[in-house]
Structure 1
Amino acid sequence: MDIEPFVGDGSNPRENPHNFLRKWQLSLTKLKKDAEDKEKVSSFQLYCSVGSAAYEWFDELTLEQKGSMVSFIAAFEKRWPKVKAAKKTRAEYEVELLGHKLAEDDIGKKVELYGQEVFTHMAWAEKIRELVQGAGVDITTSSIYLGQVRQNIPDALQDELKGEYANWEGYITAVKGLSADTVTRISRRLQEARTEKALAELQRMRIPQLPASPTAPLRRAMANTSISDIRPPRFPTGQGGGAQNILYQRVPGQTANTFSSLPALSEKELADLRTRIDSIPQQPDTPAGQTAYKAQIMAWEQQNGTNTRVDHTKPYPLTPGTAPTCSGECFKCGAHGHIGPLCALPCEQWLPVRERDWRRLCFTYLTAFRRNRVQQVNLVAIGSVEVDSGNGEGPSA
């Protein structure tokens, strides 16, 4: 029997001195039957961690305490008195009983119980037995709380346990009596239902069919056209001495769905921006990815402030499942195949304002240089100062 070395200083909350004492006493059976108490007691220190509180305590015992098993046990219990465990009240057992649930996702899974692998519904039933008895209820004659607790298992299992139960014993036996085939079939059916629900939700969230566009024939004609990357425009100096973006400068009569002026960037700043656009990894559209995305948003706000706007030095996290920046995406929804003015999503479903600004900023400075990754053709319409399939939305107000 393996015995973990005894320390005895309370540093390990899982170390119980009296459990150790019992294990040590059991180990004494290996000694010869006529061994004297002195010989038995002397073996105790061999099971103590060297230099520990227990090791030093043994060194300080008197010869009398080391020579008699009775005296040694008395000294041990004085040094490490038994601690009475906190006992649950009946009310606490009742609260735990009424709150003990079996989740639908856990049906058909297996857990360890009393050293054996069992189905979750069997483990749930055994826990219910423990809680009912702890609450002082006789499981053979009483059915108190049974009606409430029956609601704590999924409907799919309740359907297999129809009828009345005169007492807890009958109900617990019925739950444990559900066959492996039954719970496996229920688990498979529930999983299929969850999958269908998820697919239906994805279908519901899909962007509706876009209305016919006057540029559709041109886009189809250019479907196989490859256009090389466009260098960012060079901005001449304006009257005030500052750099101006002529292409995207706001002009009289221009709507809010057009680009506002942005400061010119140096070649180094443009190069830094190009390497910075993927500095925050885009998360997959999964539950874990959504959680990581929310953490990225919180980290951005902690670093930059909740009221700060994005700029070329402050990349912003992208919504999971959307297109990458500079790929000819719609700034409103992050999808390909249409421009901002033709985006069918209602405004309450648009991307966050900072993300829309970040996508717009990247395109303004770098153009849609990554459009070939998604086999997308980008059309730039100059005159109305609106950009097809790369923006067409303009900056937010």
Structure 2
Amino acid sequence: MGSTSPPATAKCSSDWFAHKKKNGRISRCPIWGDIGEKQNAVDFEHSFLRAMRASNIEKKDFILEFQLYLTHGSPANDWYIAAAAAASDWDAFAAAFWVKFPAPKVQVRMPMEYEWILTELRLDEAKLLEHHPDTNNYMWKCNEQANWKDFTNTIKAVKKQEIEEGVEHQKLLEKTKAEVAAVQKGLWECIPPMPETPSKALGHSLAGMGFADNSRGRYGRDQRGGYAGRGNYRGRGGGPGQRNSTPLTSEKVATLAWNVALLPHHPNTSEGLQAYWEQLAAWAGRWGREAVINHEKPVLLKPGMSPVASGECFNCGMRGHQGQFCEAMGDQTLGFREREWRVLCGHNLPHSSGHSAQVNNVLDDDFDTWLSGGLGKGEGSTD
């Protein structure tokens, strides 16, 4: 290691300070000294004395070293020029420094002040029961209590055994759902795929289309035409489906159509999902968890899904495939309330034409017209 002693001619100069700083012997803590500056003169002097002790500088040289810790052009540096010339030794210089830069007074708080600060941070009982927008379907339970005391008493009244049984029930429910999903997936995998034929693409396009005729689930000719179309979609969507319930009256259908337009259909974005969960919690608080879905209880649609009565799949809420071939599982499927609402709308409302399928080279079947026009003209018996 090289020598750490300073040059003989560098003492009390910028070279001396640079030498000390280079060897890690001085921790500079400059002071400005202007009025209103939030600087502690006590801390400044303590850091200066520590630096002097670490550098083994004699007390008689403290005044010369002191200027190296002042900001150039500052009021403290201007004061130093006059004070250094007038002071006879370090003690006199330090006394003049304390007169010019007195130690700040530390305000001691009384116990009552601390009590007042803590009181301001305390929430009142009205805010403790305040509803928050970030919630889920189960926070509506707190509406049963009128104040915070009743709410806490209700929580205390819950027995430990009930909580443990609830946890076990939830675990069993999740396990059952997973097993059912696995079985359903295995069943769908057993279904042979549709053969690759020229009409396969056309069949997929037709499966996602809704036809707004009076037969509900039939296409082509009506009952007079003789042949039936697709009437059964196994309750899974992919078309209008088969009407299994009693049709609604015209008044109820009007109410149903009005309720469909009542609730907004949010986009599949972070803002849309946030609004969806907030309105879903409000719906549960209004109708309850055991509500029966009907034309008077509109249900929110999952963000990003197809609108109701659009030939959508009742399992996933999307168009373009039959419900019996839907592969959506788990979180990709619809909730049971939304599924019931979509089935109700699909059975009672006219189907929208907002499909994206394009069908080309399809003509009306004029066989009956051709046949009836040829009768009695020498082409066969009219009996």
Q: TM-score range by the shorter chain?
A: 0.3 to 0.5
What's the TM-score once normalised by structure 1's chain length?
Answer: 0.33
Higher-RCO chain (CA-CA 8 Å, sequence separation at least 6) = 2
